[in-house]
A and B are shown apart, each in its own frame.
Chain A
Amino acid sequence: MNTDSTTAALAADAQLIQAIRAGDERALSQLYRLHWPMVSHFVLQNSGSEDDARDVYQEGVMVFYEKVREGSLELSCQIKTYLYAVCRRLWLKRLTTKSRLHGVRLLDEEEYGPYLNTGAEEDLQEAEERDRRFATMSEALTHLGEPCRSLLEGFYLLEKSMLDLTAEHGYTNADTAKTQKYKCLTRLKKLFFASYKEA
């Protein structure tokens, strides 16, 4: 790979990242389509199915996307290499747990060689930590029970207005609903922190 084409690719990457950070859905779609063949080929080569490839790739794109939206992505290589590194890592992990083989060896493409120093490792650890937090939250919400769960989910997750929720749950006015919401929050707090801290 010569320097000119690398520079050009990096410039295109920078443009793409900017567009995605700005919330351009078409840019994300383009990125998604661009690198899918690479990852799907990699997973299929390493005894995965089409569905495995999809799961791994979506997870990888998610990590990338969240970093971009946060603005905390420090890219020292091309997006292609970064995504390859992330997906490779993810697939290796799944393969190890799935097959219980310690000596899983992956067939790598030479083209994406320098995947070891892409910063993907730390980003993935961060993403895992976040995943754990979300999993705990999801569990806490499940244990919360109705109507607290749908009230909180409606407000925070689905971003519905207080008025809509009042009507939906049959509260007499918005203030009752709000009071109820705060009470629910205190219960959620206990559930969430109890299991999150202990884990």
Chain B
Amino acid sequence: MQTEADYYALFEAYQRGELAAGARANLEARLGAEPRLQQLYAEFGELTGTLAAYGERRRTRQTIADLHTAMLAAEATPVFEEKQAGGLSYSVNPRLSLSRTEQKLREFWSGHRATVGVAASVAILAVFSTLLGLEWWRAAKTQPSLYGYTVLRREVERIKQNQQALRRSINSSASISAAGPVNNGKFSGTGFALTAEGYIVTSSHVIQGADSLLIEGRDHQRYHAETVYSDVKHDLAILRIKDRKFSGFGRLPYTFKGGQADLGERVYTLGYPREDVVYGEGALSSRSGFNGDTAFYQVSIPVNPGNSGGPLLDGQGNLIGVVSGRQDDAQSAAFATKSSYLMRLVDSLKNRQPAQPYHLPRANQLAGAARSQQVKRLQDFVFVVKVYEQD
């Protein structure tokens, strides 16, 4: 009885042609007759064939890997195109010559460009959202506490458009200023007459940093003015008109209240938040100002930039304060310096031998008149204070 291994030996000898003629004929006959043996032979063939092919494949793989290494080596040390075997002539594809580093970089880029793109977008987003977030946080968090108090001097640049439209008419009616182009003020506020001789009151923050000042009345009369005194703590300033031609305002219709006004008193103001005079009224809502400052009243009058320095009067036409500012985070909370502080300031100035004496008005002509009548009289004594800063 022959084992499978014996048959294999037989098959191998047969394939190599090592069998004697008789044995070969015997085997061939058996292969023809016995399907069992036939199958065994087929399996043997397939097995050894696969083994041989597998070996061949491994050698080929090695050969090709060697080719690649050889090619890279040849690239590294540039040699001239060698004469090709078998008379083959072939044009070699033009190849970009890249440095080693550049090749690495290119590989990296082509492999990772999607990732790099995403990372870059994320970075940009993060940077911008951080910046915006900080900006937002600052705006939301710090502003109320630091800047809750807004002074009401008006930035004229912001409404340049309006002013440019108005400039021509201003020029034509201006009697005092030179004929040349008018330099519009950088800031403006409101001021009102203190005496008939040309003293004017406004807020000190209005004239802060002023190079020159211009006072302009309702009839577009313009006067040059100079600062006489500025009290930053109480936000008060006294100006004097220095034009020679100036002949005085005429009798002032209002008087200045020396004492405190009462809570709930109906009060009103006139000012120049726009090019035209604006009336605003409300009530005296507190006898102290921002953060409990007792030099100020709190009034419920809607005020806007440009209202600063405006007069605050009670129903009888007594001047009780000077509009100074407002609180941003509170509904219509405006602040005005108490007139008693203004009086004290005037008293102290009287003793300094001023260029012109202070003759404060003594008679109130507004008491008892209707509000509209009061305003009509008053508006001739309320002015725009234009501030020019040195460039």
Interface residues of A (CB under 8 A from B): 12, 15-16, 19, 24-30, 32-38, 44-45, 47-50, 54, 57-58, 61-62, 65-66, 130, 133-134, 137-138, 152, 156-159, 178-179, 182-183, 185-186, 188-189, 192-193
Q: Decide if B107 touches A50 in the complex (CB within 8 Å).
A: yes
Q: Decide if A65 touches B107 in the complex (CB within 8 Å).
A: no
Chain A residues within 8 Å of B144, by CB: none
Chain A to chain B contacts (Cβ below 8 Å), 14 pairs: A15-B88, A24-B85, A25-B63, A32-B68, A32-B71, A66-B57, A66-B60, A130-B53, A134-B50, A137-B50, A152-B51, A156-B54, A179-B5, A182-B9
Quick check: is B86 within 8 A (CB to CB) of the other chain? yes
Q: Decide if A50 touches B103 in the complex (CB within 8 Å).
A: yes
Q: Which of A134, A152, A178 contacts B57 (CB 8 A)?
A: A134
Chain B residues within 8 Å of A15, by CB: 86-88
Q: Decide if A38 touches B5 in the complex (CB within 8 Å).
A: no
Q: Decide if B5 touches A183 in the complex (CB within 8 Å).
A: yes
Quick check: is B180 within 8 A (CB to CB) of the other chain? no
Chain A residues within 8 Å of B43, by CB: 189, 193
Q: Decide if A157 touches B51 in the complex (CB within 8 Å).
A: yes
Chain B residues within 8 Å of A16, by CB: 88, 90
Q: Which of A19, A35, A182 contacts B85 (CB 8 A)?
A: A19
Taking A47-B110, A49-B111 as contacts, is the C-beta distance between A133 and B50 under 8 angstroms? yes
Q: How far apart are the CA atoms of A143 and B103 in the complex, in Å?
A: 43
Question: Interface digits, B167-206 against A, CB 8 Å rule (1 contact, 0 not)?
Answer: 0000000000000000000000000000000000000000
Quick check: is B363 within 8 A (CB to CB) of the other chain? no
Q: How far apart are the CA atoms of A185 and B6 in the complex, in Å?
A: 11
Q: Decide if B85 touches A58 in the complex (CB within 8 Å).
A: no
Q: Decide if B63 touches A28 in the complex (CB within 8 Å).
A: yes
Q: Decide if B92 touches A33 in the complex (CB within 8 Å).
A: yes
Q: Which of B106, B110, B113 has the largest count of A CB atoms less than 10 A from its CB?
A: B110
Interface residues of B (CB under 8 A from A): 4-6, 8-9, 12, 43-44, 47-48, 50-55, 57-58, 60-61, 63-65, 67-68, 70-71, 74, 84-90, 92-93, 95, 103, 106-107, 110-111, 113-114
- Give the Cβ gap from A164 to chain B, nearest Cβ, in Å: 15
A contact face: mostly helix, strand, loop, or mixed: helix
The 10 A-B pairs of least Cβ separation, nearest first, read A157-B55, A156-B51, A182-B5, A182-B8, A26-B85, A32-B67, A186-B4, A37-B95, A183-B5, A58-B64
Can you name the residue of chain A whose Cβ is closest to the Cβ of B9? A182
Q: How far apart are the CA atoms of A57 and B6 in the complex, in Å?
A: 44
Chain B residues within 8 Å of A24, by CB: 85-86
Chain B residues within 8 Å of A159, by CB: 55
Q: Which of A44, A157, A185 contacts B8 (CB 8 A)?
A: A185
Q: Decide if A134 touches B60 in the complex (CB within 8 Å).
A: no
Chain B residues within 8 Å of A30, by CB: 84-85, 88, 90
Taking A37-B95, A44-B110, A156-B51 as contacts, is the C-beta distance between A62 and B61 under 8 angstroms? yes
Q: How far apart are the CA atoms of A58 and B61 in the complex, in Å?
A: 8
Q: Decide if B52 touches A156 in the complex (CB within 8 Å).
A: yes
Taking A30-B88, A156-B52, A156-B55 as contacts, is the C-beta distance between A192 and B60 under 8 angstroms? no
- Give the Cβ gap from B206 to chain A, nearest Cβ, in Å: 67
Taking A27-B88, A30-B88, A158-B55 as contacts, is the C-beta distance between A38 and B93 under 8 angstroms? yes
Q: Which of A37, A57, A58 contacts B93 (CB 8 A)?
A: A37
Taking A19-B88, A47-B111 as contacts, is the C-beta distance between A62 and B60 under 8 angstroms? yes
- Give the Cβ gap from B162 to chain A, nearest Cβ, in Å: 60
Chain A residues within 8 Å of B67, by CB: 28-29, 32-33
Q: Which of B9, B63, B85 contacts A178 (CB 8 A)?
A: B9
- Give the Cβ gap from A36 to chain B, nearest Cβ, in Å: 7
Q: How far apart are the CA atoms of A181 and B71 in the complex, in Å?
A: 40
Chain B residues within 8 Å of A182, by CB: 4-6, 8-9, 12
Chain A residues within 8 Å of B92, by CB: 33-34
Can you name the residue of chain B whose Cβ is closest to the Cβ of A52? B111
Q: Decide if B70 touches A29 in the complex (CB within 8 Å).
A: yes
Chain B residues within 8 Å of A34, by CB: 90, 92-93
Q: How far apart are the CA atoms of A37 and B91 in the complex, in Å?
A: 13
Chain A residues within 8 Å of B107, by CB: 44, 49-50
Q: How far apart are the CA atoms of A65 and B59 in the complex, in Å?
A: 12
- Give the Cβ gap from A79 to chain B, nearest Cβ, in Å: 10
Q: Decide if B71 touches A137 in the complex (CB within 8 Å).
A: no
- Give the Cβ gap from A189 to chain B, nearest Cβ, in Å: 5
Chain A residues within 8 Å of B44, by CB: 185, 189
Chain A residues within 8 Å of B12, by CB: 182
- Give the Cβ gap from B305 to chain A, nearest Cβ, in Å: 60
Q: How far apart are the CA atoms of A26 and B71 in the complex, in Å?
A: 12
Q: How far apart are the CA atoms of A25 and B111 in the complex, in Å?
A: 34
Q: How far apart are the CA atoms of A117 and B198 in the complex, in Å?
A: 103
